[in-house]
A and B are shown apart, each in its own frame.
Chain A
Amino acid sequence: MRPALHAEWTKARTVAGPLWLLLGTIAATVALSAGAVSVARCPCGDMAEVSLIGVDLGQALVVILAVLVIAGEYGTGMIRTTLTAMPHRSTVLAAKAAVLTGIVAAAGTVAVLGSLLAGRLILPGHVQPLTDGPTLRTALAAILYLTLIALLGLGVATAVRDSATSIGTVLGLLYVFPVLSQTIGDQHWQRLLQRITPMPDHLGVTAAWAGAALLSGALLLHLRDA
């Protein structure tokens, strides 16, 4: 596992893509959050959530990053080199997941702290500091959420193997579900849909999606020819 981790980490840091995508995630999250806080009417409720709305945008870049980690290799054919060097396929996937988790968690932390800071600067007194229990929980949930979305993207891309289709699938899941749960009239269905929608305040649901995606990805990686 150590060499596989080392290899995947070397892969991640020796191309420009991941770094730019992580910086993009931070910039997009903070920018949209700051924009939302500055226009939000009625700064009366919990503005911590408002100041983290940028996660909705940042997650899209996280999805690209996560999908390209493996679909990019299928695109160039490098996956065969990878699996020749590391024939234990689950180890490869686990190493990719570990590296991805690390870098997304790091970038996510910067993005979330930056968004909260922006919120505090724009609406002083309405966004509580991190020492406030609920704010800390919200912030941690957002970071975890971004990490889980990355794992979801990795799992889907491992199963689908094509970057565009994987990104379409994951973004569809992330963006169409909320739209759907808004438009469904029936309360019972609405609650059900909201329960299965990946969201920062549904970490368990998000984790289940990510786990299912990773599991099916791992299974297909094992069963299929490279």
Chain B
Amino acid sequence: MPCVRPCQIPGSSRVAAAATGPEPGAAYNLRHESNCELALSAPGIVVAGLRKRYGTVLALDGMSFSVRPGQVTGFVGPNGAGKSTTMRVILGLDAVEEGTALIGGLPYRGLRHPLHHVGSLLDAAAPHPGRSGRNHLLWLAHSQGLDVRRVDRVIEQAGLAPAARRKAGGYSLGMRQRLGIAAALLGDPPVVLLDEPFNGMDPDGIVWMRGLLRSLASEGRAVLVSSHLMGEMQHTADHLVVAGRGRAIADASVAELIAAASRGNGATLEDVYLRLTREAVEFRTGTSTEDRK
């Protein structure tokens, strides 16, 4: 069993799932390799104890979870729960006051040619309206030392071929999503991070996206997908991280979540999600504790 959450951040009330981590209560910093060798060598994403404040609003308050290879991890939660902020922190766009976010054991900003390590889609691609989708991918490829063949490859993969040479200003939201997916796949990365990829997709696109996520996971990649579509997550995700008030209030497999919450009533993931977020309960693998706050 890989180290899921090997390092606890001081102040976190939660208990590690597996007792492979250091003793509870001890202060550790993930940057100290000696304490967290497991985390550093772990593939995927490890987010630990993120804390961030925008003015008076506490955006992240001890956000911790990990994303394992070979799985689609759903990242859900109400608006303002800190999902997008977490993703931006993982991608090195936003700085945090406390905590770390590591990809394959390294902070994002330490990655050379990061698109070989992580592919990401934030909001939908935001290409220059006057640049064609293909040229948007071309500059990204050049930034990673890749050439045009890789660009044409991901254009095919994302189903963007018909629109690739048109100016991106005329793209629909669905098409921009496909462009963003193409960009995420450009470096053939082991970790893929997608923020709301189903947004603006037509039914064909949703089916395609579902298949894509499954196949990326089956290729052994770690896939983190944020979404508001619980039905979609129930069918696509293996594992779910539910964010609420800047922290992960649940971190468990989809099957476990449904089983634990429904107790045989045949509840859907949506029911579970609504209950978790409404009552701000915490739920995690290996524990059935429901700390009411």
Contact = CB atoms under 8 A, between A and B. Distances in A.
Interface in A62-89: 72-73, 76-78, 80-88
A15 interface: yes
A204 to B, nearest CB: 34
A14 B131 contact: yes
A17 B169 CA distance: 14
Given A76-B126, A80-B122, A14 B114 contact: no
Interface centre among A14, A16, A78, A85 (most CB of B within 10 A): A85
A72 B126 CA distance: 11
B138 A78 contact: no
B139 A80 contact: no
B58 to A, nearest CB: 15
B109 A85 contact: no
A83 B92 contact: yes
Contacts of B88: 80, 225-226
A10 interface: yes
- In the complex, which range does the number of interface residues on chain A fall in? 20 to 34
Interface string B132-162: 1001101110111100000000000000000
Given A10-B142, A11-B139, A225-B93, A87 B131 contact: no
Nearest to A92: B143
A81 to B, nearest CB: 7
Contacts of B94: 225-226
Nearest to A226: B93
Contacts of A84: 91-93, 114-115, 120, 122
Interface centre among A4, A73, A76, A88 (most CB of B within 10 A): A76
A72 B143 contact: no
B133 to A, nearest CB: 11
Interface centre among A4, A6, A14, A84 (most CB of B within 10 A): A84
A224 B92 CA distance: 11
B128 interface: yes
Contacts of A6: 142-143, 145
A192 B271 CA distance: 72
B120 A15 contact: no
Interface string A14-29: 1111000000000000
Given A10-B135, A14-B131, A14-B132, A85 B126 contact: no
Contacts of A3: 113, 142-145
A196 interface: no
B108 interface: yes
A160 interface: no
B219 interface: no
A7 B91 contact: no
A85 B140 contact: yes
Contacts of A78: 126-128
Contacts of A10: 135, 138-139, 142
Contacts of B131: 11, 14-15
Given A81-B183, A85-B144, A14 B139 contact: yes
Nearest to A74: B126
Interface string B103-133: 0000011010111000010110111111110
A15 B128 contact: yes
A92 to B, nearest CB: 9
B206 interface: no
B95 interface: yes
Contacts of A225: 88, 93-95
A14 B92 contact: no
Given A78-B127, A85-B114, 18 more contacts: A2-B145, A3-B143, A4-B143, A6-B145, A10-B135, A14-B131, A14-B138, A72-B128, A73-B128, A76-B129, A80-B122, A80-B123, A81-B127, A83-B92, A84-B122, A85-B144, A87-B92, A88-B109
16 contacts: A3-B145, A7-B143, A8-B139, A9-B142, A11-B139, A72-B128, A73-B128, A76-B126, A76-B128, A76-B129, A81-B127, A85-B115, A87-B92, A87-B108, A87-B109, A226-B93
Interface of B: 88, 91-95, 108-109, 111, 113-115, 120, 122-123, 125-132, 135-136, 138-140, 142-145, 183
Interface of A: 2-4, 6-11, 14-17, 72-73, 76-78, 80-88, 225-226
